[in-house]
Amino acid sequence: MHNLRFRQIHLDFHTSEKIGDIGAAFDREHWQRVLREAAVDSVTCFATCHHGWAYYDTQVGKRHPQLQCDLLRRQFEASKEIDVNVPIYLTAGVNNMAAAAHPEWRQLGPDGRLTGWARSNLDAGFFMMCFNTGYLDFLCRQIEEVVELFPGCDGIFLDIISQPECVCHQCIATMQAGGLDPLRPEDRKRHARNVLLEYYRRSTAAAKKFNPDMPVFHNGGHIRQGDTEILSHFSHLELESLPTGGWGYDHFPISAKYCQNLPHDMLGMTGKFHTTWGEFGGFKHPNALRYECAAMLAVGAKCSVGDQLHPCGKLDESTYRIIGQAYREVAAKQAWCEQVEPLADIGLVSSAAVNRDVDGHRRDNPADIGAGRIMLEGQFLFDILDPAMDFAGRKALLLPDDIAVDAELKAKIDDFLAAGGKLILSGRSGLNPVNDGFLWDLGAEYHGVSPFQPDYAALADRVRPEFVDSPLVMYLPSCRIKAVEGRSTGAIHDPYFNRAYDHFCSHQHAPNRLEPSGFDCGVVSPDGNILYFAHPVFSLYRMYGAVAYRHYITQAIRHFLGDALSLQTNLPSTARVHLNRQPGQGRLVLHLLYANTVLRGGSMEMHGGTVRDTRPIEVVEELVPLRDIRLTLRTPQKIGRATLEPQGEAIPLRQTEAGVELTVPEFSCHQMVVLA
């Protein structure tokens, strides 16, 4: 496994040929001083950018026409002199210089339109390139040139890696030669996958041509859960997740919870920008970066902050003062964050991984996001699994909303249950292949999918929110079940009717009928080992974020798992908690995180130089302290001492039948509690 450094910069440099004096203000001493003061230990520098220009002396591509020096060479040598690593970036999936020189290399969608961020030559933006053309030969020669010229570089970063369905002349010819029909979407997808795999093989080989240990990362903007076939081409993982750039603050921990189970070291990648990539003169508050970097450490990731270098080549000192506040804290904490393993009670089986052939690799799978948020906000210790991973070591498996269980997955879950594990299902998860019953005995009869949307859940006392006595509206259809031998979690009340032109009530949906429908909103199996929610509750929570939904789901899970849960705490739902084992040090490290995020800004159509219209942005500014945080932890090892780190302050703990009890008097942003 390639071991990454903790405090990295991803230094974007996508620079127009219409700007002059590129790199003219680069100064070695200024570069070194700014990086040192910001506690940076690695900086990814550009060989080529999306505009297609090279920032080094190239014989393969084209040097930026306004470049005043071999900028990459100067950055590389200045960094290495102060022991700062230098991975090197090359654009891959987009390249406007190559697109202009070779329009036949561009991707062409099935609709007959050129693909990319610019769909027309009259639009501002970048053009997508097809890896099934001579472009891949060109790209591989450029990669080989870079690793030959910079043999001491610390990795190759290849960006914008995707190959959607393409019907350029070369792709049509390749499909026809291989017996595929370009008119069939499934054949186009199969061809695109084959092209992408060939890209991975050839580009990785090019990067390793002179050094078989050269680190390589291929960036597609998101780690594709379940797509393990491509991971042999990756030395490590970089989890691009700019909270203000459209990813949000919950994307990174959910992505990382999956990647923790892969055999790769990983970086979390955020940005210094108020919005996202490509923003000059935008700055997030220093407290936001402090929190984002702490959130990376808490899940065993190293840190990377995205910046964008001014065309003059001089680092912006305001940016690095902000980054330095976060990175000096990271430096003080990293001894407790190296070589860690996550501890999890609940294994969340990824809907994106199971359904990737159907849904593709979209970043916003509702079932996964909703389940991940429930786990985070409910302070559950969890990780995320794909069906090929080992399920052992968890107390329960969670299959959210739409997991179609095949024979292989069924056998693994049966073994897990036989070994004493428990199972949580919702919606259509766990139905048999013909969708007329369940694969396991839930102690309930199945009667298909409800014809009503929405319906209402009159919840049992043990699971209902304390502030709700009435039936709770559930906006997605339930599966119709009747508890027979299992224990019901509540009754379904149907609406008077679905909304239609000839029968509707008020502004939205019809109210609930006063009498129960005879169906149940959930059930616990007779043996107490399976909990089932009849609604797709996790997608519902992703869609609506109703506090009542979260209380219902978390109380049902806590009641179901009981003493099997390792952690009890009074942390608010907006706080986060993660538990890691550090085997080499013989200790556990509990991470407490809290930042009050708020939505600011609003939606407005923008014109002129901006790329996109505005939208509300989730912002961190003030870091409000939390006080008297009580924790009860059932640990796999005996605990005799608890310290707050990096302060080195011991705190009292008490052994009880429920586990180790301790109280953190106060913390702000991030606190590590080390247990040994």
Confidence class for position 604, pLDDT limits 50, 70, 90: confident
CB-based contact 484:432 (threshold 8 Å):
no
Strand ranges in 25-81 using DSSP code E only, listed in sequence order: 42-46, 53-54, 62-63
How much is the pLDDT for 613?
73
Extract the runs of DSSP E, i.e. beta strands, from 155-213. 156-159
According to the model, what pLDDT value does residue 610 have? 63
The percentage of residues in the chain with a pLDDT greater than 70, rounded to a whole number, is 98
pLDDT given at position 658: 83
- Tell me how crowded residue 464 is: count the other CB atoms within 10 A of its CB: 21
Q: What is the pTM of this model?
A: 0.95
Q: What is the per-residue pLDDT for 607?
A: 67
Nearest to 394 by CA among 439, 428, 424, 433: 424
- Please, what's the b/e burial string for 148-179 (b: 16 or more CB within 10 A of its CB; e: otherwise)? ebbeebbbbbbbbbbbebbbbebbbebbeeee
Q: Kindly tell me if the per-residue pLDDT of 359 is higher than 60.
A: no
pLDDT band at 414; cut points 50, 70, 90: very high
pLDDT in tens, 552-599: 999 999 999 999 999 999 999 999 999 999 999 999 999 999 999 998
Interatomic CA distance for residues 287 and 326, integer angstroms: 8
Q: Which CATH architecture has domain 346-565?
A: 3-Layer(aba) Sandwich (3.40)
pLDDT of residue 361: 56
Q: What per-residue confidence (pLDDT) applies to 605? A: 75
SS3 314: coil
Listed by start position, the domains of the chain span 7-338, 346-565, 569-675
Could you report the per-residue pLDDT of 304-330, keeping only the tens digit for each?
A: 999 999 999 999 999 999 999 999 999
Per-residue model confidence as pLDDT tens digits over 191-220: 999 999 999 999 999 999 999 999 999 999
pLDDT, average across residues 231-238: 97
Per-residue confidence (pLDDT) for residue 525, from 0 to 100: 98
The tens digit of pLDDT for each residue in 627-638 reads 999 999 998 788
pLDDT tens digit sequence for 101-128: 999 999 999 999 999 988 788 888 999 9
Q: Is the separation of the CB atoms in 578 and 260 below 8 Å?
A: no
Residue 164, pLDDT above cutoff 70: yes
Model confidence at 611, in pLDDT bands (50, 70, 90)? low
Average pLDDT, the chain: 95
- Backbone φ and ψ for 3, nearest 5 degrees, come out as -90, 125
Strand ranges inside 363-489, DSSP E: 382-385, 396-399, 422-426, 444-449, 455-459, 472-474, 479-483, 487-488
| Torsion sign (Cα): 53, 55, 61, 62 | positive
> What pLDDT is stored for residue 360 in this prediction?
55
Mean pLDDT, range 144-166, rounded to an integer: 97
Q: For residue 395, which of 637, 566, 525, 554 has the smallest C-alpha distance?
A: 566
Of 597, 607, 475, 490, the C-alpha closest to 539 is 475
* Cβ burial 481-492 (10 Å sphere, 16+ → b, else e): bbbeebbbbbbb
- Confidence check: pLDDT of 190 > 70: yes
Between CA 159 and CA 162 the distance in angstroms is 9
Query: What does the block give as tokens for 424?
Result: 């949580």
CATH architecture of the domain formed by 569-675: Sandwich (2.60)
- List pLDDT tens digits, range 453-507: 999 999 999 999 999 999 999 999 999 999 999 999 999 999 999 999 999 999 9
455-459/487-488 β-pairing: unpaired
CB contact set of 316 (below 8 Å; sequence gap of 6+): 307, 310
The pair of structure tokens assigned to 452 is: 């009503």
pLDDT surpassing 90 at residue 356: no
Residue with the bigger pLDDT between 221 and 362: it is: 221
Q: Is the pLDDT of residue 332 over 60?
A: yes
3 or 523: which carries more pLDDT confidence?
Answer: 523
Given this model, what pLDDT does residue 511 score? 95
Average pLDDT rounded to a whole number, residues 370-386 = 98
Question: What's the rounded Cα separation, in Å, for the pair 53 and 63?
Answer: 6
In angstroms, the CA 670 to CA 335 distance is 15
7-338 folds as TIM Barrel (3.20.20)
How far is Cα 422 from Cα 531, in angstroms, rounded to an integer? 8
Give me the pLDDT at residue 267, please. Answer: 97
